Amino acid sequence: MDIDQTKIPQATAKRLPLYYRYLKNLSASGKQRVSSAELSEAIKVDSATIRRDFSYFGALGKKGYGYNVHYLLSFFSKTLDQDETTKVALIGVGNLGTAFLHYNFIKNNNTKIELAFDADEEKVNQEIGGVPVYHIDEFTKQIKEKDISVVILTVPVHVAQSIADQMNDTGIRGILNFTPARLTVPDHIRVHHIDLAVELQALVYFMKHYPV
Amino acid sequence: MDIDQTKIPQATAKRLPLYYRYLKNLSASGKQRVSSAELSEAIKVDSATIRRDFSYFGALGKKGYGYNVHYLLSFFSKTLDQDETTKVALIGVGNLGTAFLHYNFIKNNNTKIELAFDADEEKVNQEIGGVPVYHIDEFTKQIKEKDISVVILTVPVHVAQSIADQMNDTGIRGILNFTPARLTVPDHIRVHHIDLAVELQALVYFMKHYPV
């Protein structure tokens, strides 16, 4: 299982958490093997893609047997560093931010929202979903103290860049950006961008031009 | 500009709404041409990708001039059917659903949330973000009456599939699914799946294995 991670295509890498979660449930239910067809049906990824993805991990299914659940699970667990929890901070406790705080990330996961920030005094010094909310003015101090490496950004678009600018000299190396702002950040910070309007528009485009 | 839409790669298609929004802002500010480098800086997509994407649309930038903003904008507007508004319903008015209702999709867009549904009597018969909330029992009736073709699904995971099952004989052809459930739907319905936990885990994986 000594795979050169950088050889895994990015599209494959994005499916790893999905595979991992499903296999964990299979294993918990006592299942010892699974076919690519069963996996395909359950997670809605076509089976040719699953077989190609798994071949990168050296997992070759056997005809009439399928894949060994335990082997796959231990591979994914190691690959996704399930033993190591990544500490996350959330900035912007509006509706979207509150939804995240109530979402139990830790359950099947290696990430934990440790603290949240907002500029609204009424939200500060509360706990939401078990996560303490601090004032945004304490951002740099708390981020360093709590050793946070990832930020979920759910603030209004007009403050997104100025908040991102405060992350330069902290330990932050990743931003999950839910604002429509395209952020300018130093090279060592990776930004994944999820724009809800773009996702909706893309779905409509695909409905029209790639009929299923 | 008579492009065969099905020849555009899906990865390119997903960037169309992003290009469109930025070009619209450029045009509104009176700009008449733009280089791939400027576009790249603004929307954080590398310029080689932008040039390749644009070549599919027959838009070939000129050295030292760049692209004609008006040409690109009219192409994207036509391609994304900006003249035609797609009617959307939202199901599940929790924190995430409420965030969507307050999000002004129509602004730069061709989609509009016309109505919302929830099972909670306290939310029914209200307007949230200007969108009326109906009881989920009225779902089939309202969807048909209002000619809805897309659904945003922000319900608890355990009811996701049973709600999806009610969409079969309506005019719904697309679901933007924010629940962790992998939905089973008829062939004529396209599901785009956004799993917040998977997105976060993927970001952490990429931070570790694809250093920037």
Residues in A touching B204 (Cβ below 8 Å) = 81, 86, 110-111, 150, 174
Nearest to B17 among A5, A100, A202 (CB): A202
Nearest to A10 among B152, B187, B210 (CB): B210
ipTM for this model: 0.76
Say yes or no: B157 contacts chain A, CB-CB below 8 A.
no
Q: What is the pLDDT of residues A52-92, one digit of tens each?
A: 888 887 766 777 788 888 888 888 887 777 667 889 999 99
Residue A136's nearest CA partner among A160, A113, A157 is: A160
Nearest to A150 among B94, B174, B203 (CB): B203
- Pair of tokens at residue A100: 């995240």
Q: What is the structure's pLDDT at B104? A: 59
Q: How far apart are CA B54 and CA A131, in angstroms?
A: 45
Residues in B touching A207 (Cβ below 8 Å) = 149-150, 173-174, 190
Q: What is the structure's pLDDT at A126? A: 94
In this prediction, residue A45 has a pLDDT band, given cuts at 50, 70 and 90, of confident
Domain ranges of chain B: 5-78, 86-198
Q: What is the pLDDT of residues A105-136, one digit of tens each?
A: 655 567 889 999 999 999 999 999 999 999 99
> What CATH number matches the domain at A5-78, 3.40.50.1220, 1.10.10.10, 3.40.50.12280, 1.10.3720.10?
1.10.10.10
pTM for the full predicted model: 0.77
Contact A186, A168 (CB under 8 A): yes
Q: How far apart are CA A27 and CA A77, in angstroms?
A: 12
A86-198 belongs to CATH 3.40.50.300? no
DSSP string across A191-212: EEE--HHHHHHHHHHHHHHS--
Contact B195, A20 (CB under 8 A): no
Say yes or no: A86 contacts chain B, CB-CB below 8 A.
yes
Say yes or no: A212 contacts chain B, CB-CB below 8 A.
yes
Optimal mutation site among A57, A201, A206, interface B, most CBs of chain B within 10 A: A201
Nearest to A174 among B6, B86, B203 (CB): B203
Q: What is the pLDDT of residues B20-50, one digit of tens each?
A: 888 888 888 888 888 888 888 888 888 888 8
Say yes or no: A158 contacts chain B, CB-CB below 8 A.
no
Q: How far apart are CA B184 and CA B150, in angstroms?
A: 16
Residue A147 has pLDDT above 90, yes or no: yes
Contact B47, B37 (CB under 8 A): yes
Return the number of other C-beta atoms located less than 10 Å from residue A165's C-beta: 12
